Chain A
Amino acid sequence: MKLAIALRWMRRESRGARGRMLYFTACLAVGVAAIVGVAALSQAIENGFRESSREILGADVSVDARRLLPPQLDEIAARHSGVERTDVLETASMVSALGPDGRARRNVLAQVHALTGRYPLYGDLVTEPAGGVAHLAADTALVPADLLRDLELEPGDEILIAGTPFRVAAAILRGPPQFGFSSMLGPRLFVSGEGLKRAPLLFVGSRVRHRALFALGDGATPGDVKALAADFASIEDAAYLDVDTHIDAGPGGRQSRRRLQSFLGRVALLSAIVGGIGVAQIVRAWLAGRTQSIAVLRCLGVRPREILLISLGHTTLLAFAGSSIGAVLGCGLPLLVDALVPNLVPGGLSVTFPAVAVARGMVIGVGIAVCFSLPPLLAIWRVSPARVLRADAAPLPAPRWIAVATALAIGGGVLGAAIVQSDKIAWALWFTAGFAVLVALLALGARALIAAAGLVPRRRLERHLAHGVAALARPGAGTIGAVVALGLGTMVVATMWLVETRLREGLLAQVPPGAPSVFLLDVQPEQRDGVRAALENAAALYVDEVPLVMGRIESIDGRPVDELVAEERAADSHTADSRTVDPSGAKRGPGDRRRRSLRSLTREQRMTTLETLGPSNRVVAGELWSDPDHLELSVEQGFARRLGLELGTRVGFDVGGKPIELRVTSLREVEWQSFSFNFFLVAEPGAFDGASTLYLASGRLPAADEAALQDSVVADFPNVSVLRLGKVIEQVSEMIGRTAAGVGALGTFTVLAALLVLAGAASATALRRRREIALLKTLGVTRAGVVALLATEFGLAGALGGLIGGAGALSLAWAFLTFVAEQSVDLPWSLLPIATLLCGLAAALSGLLASLRALRVRPIEALR
């Protein structure tokens, strides 16, 4: 058959198929919109971050460490032209307003950043009154406007930072953005370098991060930036440095964003596949109505494969139209999000045409439509041309290879779409297998329920219900496909909701009953008794106190750390070429493990001394304090592996300038989730005698009393930071909630696609329905009666989908929470009736909307 003729026939096929086309294109458009929308939004977010990456990092290159930065930084910076440096000392402290009694009131844990140099090097620090860091002097601070409001302060008032008074020089209205964990530590205020020295925050063992920010100026190329960063990274004896550039650093948690985007992309894929089920349903119903025409065509000499090609061509054109509509909608998503959430990304989203995402969405949309159409199109072979003479002519057998090929098409379509969407073949294979099992289970469930519906004695049922139950089991109703699609959609949304709420609850439940609720950090030796008394006065149930000693590893088994570092670096350069690169851009491999061990070797170690281990520690090798001849060390087993420490290894430390050698006599497994103080390195009591020691204290008390304890501790010991576990959990829980809301919103696309599948099935059987409705009206059923009958029919199908989807969600959520989150689960069975009811209502509504035309028809028109 000539192409021109085939195209002409395709055009003719589309006549009189408005309803079919509408739902066909809508089913695909929803899925493609989800796929393109997620990708377009991700791209706009990444562009936004990239364009403002300097403002986010606040520099071209940032170098930071938990110890003093090496002097070579200046020498290296001097070798590069036009480099400007600003130093930021980052620490945390309690800040308070000064009460009328001269004591601290309204205490808040905040980040204190001390600046030396121009700040920010890029971006803005907008203050009221204007002027930014120009306001900073030894006794002034810049404080976020929100914090000032909470403390009931205004510019010009006094604020206490670790008990030291500062004058609020200006309120910060907008500053360089912060992301990740640091943003959860509390509001950030700025003081000058001299100012920080006034507050009792810098002492041996205090938690200070030293950061140097470098700007190369607007003319700097990425090459210049990378060269400067490479020079910093190659400083001898400074493996403890973290060197980031605005180009590679992944500001704002790029890795976690990518993981989230990839997950959302996969949820979007699910809506596209649910749309595919709709396509299959509509094509099947369409062919059922075209059986006689196919028989005529075959009688006139059109070969089945020619009819298939024409039908497939028609399907492809519709799929192209639907996918295009979806792509356009998806492209609009970033604009919508930007309008609704203008501050999602600092500097706003940067919306560009997502060409790759559109191409990907179109390929997936058209591919899924074609693959899902093939099995129903197999019916073309089965239509006997003899039907033109006898309506009861027996169907013909389809060639076996065609039957096999079309059956494989759906699997191939899902696999292909998963590969295109994820770029990962192994994942795509798992996804396809999982999807097949899931659909098979849902279909089995649907089939069983429909069979059960057929057994219900309908005579005893109310009239409408009897009709609905009968309609469920009727052949050719397309019920199974619609129920499976709705079940899938419901499952996605309900699973997300279940997992999110249970994870949030789990966060709280994870805290063991006796775990501390308040942590007191940086307690000086002379403050120990006072802090303990404060805890006891607050009726704290459990009080723990551990010493904290800072030190650096000097040698392992007598070999100096410098030598070990040089060895590791040499090995690293050998393995640099063997790194694998995953699609997210993260490099992983032996080199990364070495860099981690380099950092562990050279960083400041936080150590403690303990007589006995707490319940969250378990000795897995050796014996605790078993060697009377040596000072002993107990090492967490993962840390030991990283540094190559074994039982008997001698580890030399520099503790406050004093050399101490300890021998590893036990390895420990640590339960880090126990919410108690845990350490990689624990020495036997007395090992660090004479060294400068800080103390960490904790206690458990009712939430209502925490604020009072915090106030009394801050008033008496201003340098002590009070960390309230409940507040931290609140922040994490909020973050989980925000993520889950995004996934849930995307999940509703799947439900929408599923409702379209149901409406599409209703619309595709409109011709048959027209006759039925006409007959019912002829027999005296009013229009309201017909509406009630149809609503019951659609509602029952939807309720079945909701029931199956709800059951699936409970199973999936249980499996995820039990085996992945390792959390005990108490599932809400009330989900089942709620999902059943909601899906039933939504299905009744969408089915009725799709049957509006059939409802309006006059009996004589349909029966003539």
Chain B
Amino acid sequence: MPPAAIECIRVTKRMSSGARVLTILAELDLSVERGDSVAIVGPSGSGKSTLLGLLAGLDRPTDGEVRLLGESLGELDEDELALLRRHHVGFVFQDFQLLANITAIENVLLPLELSGADGADERATELLQRVGLAERLHHYPSQLSGGEQQRVALARAFATRPPVLLADEPTGNLDGVTGGAALDLMYELREQAGSTLVLVTHDPQVAERARRRVRLVDGRIVSDERDA
């Protein structure tokens, strides 16, 4: 049986704030099966985004272990973590995080070029067509609306068909209608790519779309629900 997509074993994250040391996550255990979709919910400051950063290897836990696709992240250096993300992880952010000095299609091309995929141009064009931006390929992010930027970000996230997709408040900066459309698109692309989805949100409606919902309060899991 293949290992779980994501495993957190007694993960603790502390940070110093001035003279104080804050515990953001406390001995947290979590396992996400391959192909599953999990929403991490909780109030502001509960540690959702910190957890997402740890899952992606963007940050390191103070204690405990994080495994991604069976690989223990603590044993990898920054370069190895970068390569792991390059080949296995896609990201969607609340504020899109598109590179401002390159066009929509170049943003989508970025992970394809990094992974050395063949037919990168065709794949990027196809993805942008699928997200409804066929006419906007060569526009810069500043020339696109918020919804359009998030669609470019989704196309970029799924460009390499990553086994794991991590999303941080993907509809947080969008109005209800646009956010709903973006969410639909994200689930549709996820289905096609077969990616495991871990999504951080404070919006119950967004969380409802996931098969599983983990609730964090003060850095601890207080509930873990799964659709029947």
CB distance from A751 to the nearest CB of B (A): 33
CB distance from A269 to the nearest CB of B (A): 35
Report if A393-B59 is in contact (Cβ < 8 Å); known contacts: A5-B113, A12-B102.
yes
Within 8 A of A (CB), among B14-71: 49-50, 52-53, 56, 58-59
In the complex, A300 Cα to B81 Cα: how many Å? Answer: 10
Q: Is B78 an interface residue (CB 8 A)?
A: yes
Which of B91-99, B125-133, B170-178, B215-223 participates in binding chain A?
Answer: B91-99
B82 touching A302 by the CB < 8 A rule?
yes
Q: Is A15 an interface residue (CB 8 A)?
A: yes
A388 touching B93 by the CB < 8 A rule?
yes
Q: Is A301 an interface residue (CB 8 A)?
A: yes
Please give, as numbers and ranges, the residues of chain B lying within 8 Å of A15 by CB-CB distance.
101-102
Q: Is A687 an interface residue (CB 8 A)?
A: no
Q: Is A384 an interface residue (CB 8 A)?
A: yes
A299 touching B58 by the CB < 8 A rule?
yes
Q: Is B85 an interface residue (CB 8 A)?
A: yes
Task: Determine which of A1, A13, A292, A300 lies in contact with B91 in the assembled complex, contact meaning CB atoms within 8 Å.
Answer: A300
Report if A303-B91 is in contact (Cβ < 8 Å); known contacts: A384-B58, A385-B58.
no
Q: Is B76 an interface residue (CB 8 A)?
A: no
A299 touching B91 by the CB < 8 A rule?
yes
Q: Is A780 an interface residue (CB 8 A)?
A: no
CB distance from B157 to the nearest CB of A (A): 9
In the complex, A684 Cα to B106 Cα: how many Å? Answer: 97
B85 touching A299 by the CB < 8 A rule?
yes
B82 touching A388 by the CB < 8 A rule?
no
B86 touching A293 by the CB < 8 A rule?
no
CB distance from A299 to the nearest CB of B (A): 6
Task: Determine which of A1, A305, A390 lies in contact with B53 in the assembled complex, contact meaning CB atoms within 8 Å.
Answer: A390
Q: Is B148 an interface residue (CB 8 A)?
A: no
Please give, as numbers and ranges, the residues of chain A lying within 8 Å of B100 by CB-CB distance.
16, 293
Interface string of A93-134 (1 = CB under 8 A from B): 000000000000000000000000000000000000000000
Q: Is B116 an interface residue (CB 8 A)?
A: yes
Report if A296-B97 is in contact (Cβ < 8 Å); known contacts: A5-B113, A384-B59, A389-B52.
yes
Q: Is A396 an interface residue (CB 8 A)?
A: yes
Q: Is A304 an interface residue (CB 8 A)?
A: yes
In the complex, A292 Cα to B113 Cα: how many Å? Answer: 20
CB distance from B28 to the nearest CB of A (A): 17
Task: Determine which of B52, B86, B93 lies in contact with A301 in the assembled complex, contact meaning CB atoms within 8 Å.
Answer: B86
Q: Is A559 an interface residue (CB 8 A)?
A: no
Within 8 A of A (CB), among B96-112: 97, 99-102, 106, 110-111
Interface string of A833-844 (1 = CB under 8 A from B): 000000000000
In the complex, A15 Cα to B103 Cα: how many Å? Answer: 11
B110 touching A304 by the CB < 8 A rule?
no
User: Please, which residue of chain A has its CB at the minimum distance from the CB of B80?
Assistant: A303
A296 touching B113 by the CB < 8 A rule?
no
CB distance from B62 to the nearest CB of A (A): 12
B85 touching A300 by the CB < 8 A rule?
yes
In the complex, A296 Cα to B157 Cα: how many Å? Answer: 12
In the complex, A1 Cα to B82 Cα: how many Å? Answer: 13
Task: Determine which of B78, B87, B113, B168 lies in contact with A304 in the assembled complex, contact meaning CB atoms within 8 Å.
Answer: B78
Within 8 A of A (CB), among B180-207: none
Q: Is A257 an interface residue (CB 8 A)?
A: no
A8 touching B86 by the CB < 8 A rule?
no
A300 touching B59 by the CB < 8 A rule?
no
Q: Is B144 an interface residue (CB 8 A)?
A: no
Task: Determine which of A12, A385, A396 lies in contact with B106 in the assembled complex, contact meaning CB atoms within 8 Å.
Answer: A12
Q: Is B83 an interface residue (CB 8 A)?
A: yes
Report if A305-B99 is in contact (Cβ < 8 Å); known contacts: A2-B116, A300-B86, A386-B53.
no
A300 touching B79 by the CB < 8 A rule?
no
A396 touching B85 by the CB < 8 A rule?
no
Q: Is A771 an interface residue (CB 8 A)?
A: no
Residue from the set A1, A304, A388 with the largest chain B CB neighbour count within 10 Å: A388
Interface size on B, residues (CB 8 A): 30
B58 touching A302 by the CB < 8 A rule?
no
Please give, as numbers and ranges, the residues of chain B lying within 8 Å of A388 by CB-CB distance.
58, 91, 93, 97
CB distance from A283 to the nearest CB of B (A): 16
Q: Is A298 an interface residue (CB 8 A)?
A: yes
Please give, as numbers and ranges, the residues of chain A lying within 8 Å of B83 by CB-CB distance.
301, 303
A301 touching B87 by the CB < 8 A rule?
yes
Please give, as numbers and ranges, the residues of chain A lying within 8 Å of B113 by CB-CB distance.
5, 8-9
Q: Is B9 an interface residue (CB 8 A)?
A: no
In the complex, A298 Cα to B59 Cα: how many Å? Answer: 12
User: Please, which residue of chain B has its CB at the minimum distance from the CB of A1?
Assistant: B114
Report if A386-B59 is in contact (Cβ < 8 Å); known contacts: A301-B87, A301-B114.
yes
User: Please, which residue of chain A has its CB at the minimum distance from the CB of B89?
Assistant: A301
In the complex, A299 Cα to B49 Cα: how many Å? Answer: 14
In the complex, A386 Cα to B58 Cα: how many Å? Answer: 5
Interface string of A1-21 (1 = CB under 8 A from B): 110010011001101110000
In the complex, A292 Cα to B52 Cα: how many Å? Answer: 18
Please give, as numbers and ranges, the residues of chain B lying within 8 Å of A389 by CB-CB distance.
49-50, 52-53, 58, 93, 168
Please give, as numbers and ranges, the residues of chain B lying within 8 Å of A16 by CB-CB distance.
100-101
In the complex, A292 Cα to B101 Cα: how many Å? Answer: 12
Please give, as numbers and ranges, the residues of chain B lying within 8 Å of A386 by CB-CB distance.
53, 58-59
A299 touching B79 by the CB < 8 A rule?
no
Please give, as numbers and ranges, the residues of chain A lying within 8 Å of B50 by CB-CB distance.
389-390
Please give, as numbers and ranges, the residues of chain B lying within 8 Å of A390 by CB-CB distance.
49-50, 53
In the complex, A300 Cα to B56 Cα: how many Å? Answer: 10
User: Please, which residue of chain B has its CB at the minimum distance from the CB of A399?
Assistant: B78
CB distance from A447 to the nearest CB of B (A): 27
B114 touching A296 by the CB < 8 A rule?
no
Interface string of A302-319 (1 = CB under 8 A from B): 111100000000000000
Please give, as numbers and ranges, the residues of chain A lying within 8 Å of B78 by CB-CB distance.
303-304, 396
Please give, as numbers and ranges, the residues of chain B lying within 8 Å of A384 by CB-CB distance.
58-59
Please give, as numbers and ranges, the residues of chain B lying within 8 Å of A2 by CB-CB distance.
116
Please give, as numbers and ranges, the residues of chain A lying within 8 Å of B86 by CB-CB distance.
300-302
In the complex, A13 Cα to B84 Cα: how many Å? Answer: 25
User: Please, which residue of chain A has its CB at the minimum distance from the CB of B52?
Assistant: A389
B114 touching A302 by the CB < 8 A rule?
yes
In the complex, A390 Cα to B15 Cα: how many Å? Answer: 13
Please give, as numbers and ranges, the residues of chain B lying within 8 Å of A297 by CB-CB distance.
99, 110
CB distance from A844 to the nearest CB of B (A): 31
In the complex, A1 Cα to B79 Cα: how many Å? Answer: 13
In the complex, A304 Cα to B77 Cα: how many Å? Answer: 12
CB distance from B24 to the nearest CB of A (A): 10
Please give, as numbers and ranges, the residues of chain B lying within 8 Å of A9 by CB-CB distance.
113
Please give, as numbers and ranges, the residues of chain A lying within 8 Å of B114 by CB-CB distance.
1, 5, 300-302
Task: Determine which of B82, B101, B102 lies in contact with A298 in the assembled complex, contact meaning CB atoms within 8 Å.
Answer: B82
Please give, as numbers and ranges, the residues of chain B lying within 8 Å of A385 by CB-CB distance.
56, 58, 82
Please give, as numbers and ranges, the residues of chain B lying within 8 Å of A296 by CB-CB distance.
97, 99
Within 8 A of B (CB), among A350-396: 384-386, 388-390, 393, 396
Please give, as numbers and ranges, the residues of chain A lying within 8 Å of B56 by CB-CB distance.
299, 385
Please give, as numbers and ranges, the residues of chain A lying within 8 Å of B110 by CB-CB distance.
297, 300
Please give, as numbers and ranges, the residues of chain B lying within 8 Å of A298 by CB-CB distance.
82
In the complex, A677 Cα to B101 Cα: how many Å? Answer: 78
Please give, as numbers and ranges, the residues of chain B lying within 8 Å of A1 by CB-CB distance.
114
User: Please, which residue of chain B has its CB at the minimum distance from the CB of A393?
Assistant: B59
Interface string of A274-297 (1 = CB under 8 A from B): 000000000000000000110011
Please give, as numbers and ranges, the residues of chain B lying within 8 Å of A12 by CB-CB distance.
101-102, 106
Cβ-closest 3 pairs across A and B? A301-B86, A301-B85, A386-B58
Q: A386-B53, A393-B53 given. 7 additional CB < 8 A pairs?
A: A15-B102, A16-B100, A17-B101, A296-B97, A301-B89, A303-B78, A389-B93
Q: Please report A residues at the B interface, Cβ cutoff 8 Å.
A: 1-2, 5, 8-9, 12-13, 15-17, 292-293, 296-305, 384-386, 388-390, 393, 396
Could you list some 9 contacts between A and B, CB below 8 A?
A: A2-B116, A8-B113, A12-B106, A16-B100, A302-B86, A304-B79, A389-B50, A390-B49, A390-B50
Q: Please report B residues at the A interface, Cβ cutoff 8 Å.
A: 49-50, 52-53, 56, 58-59, 78-79, 82-87, 89, 91, 93, 97, 99-102, 106, 110-111, 113-114, 116, 168
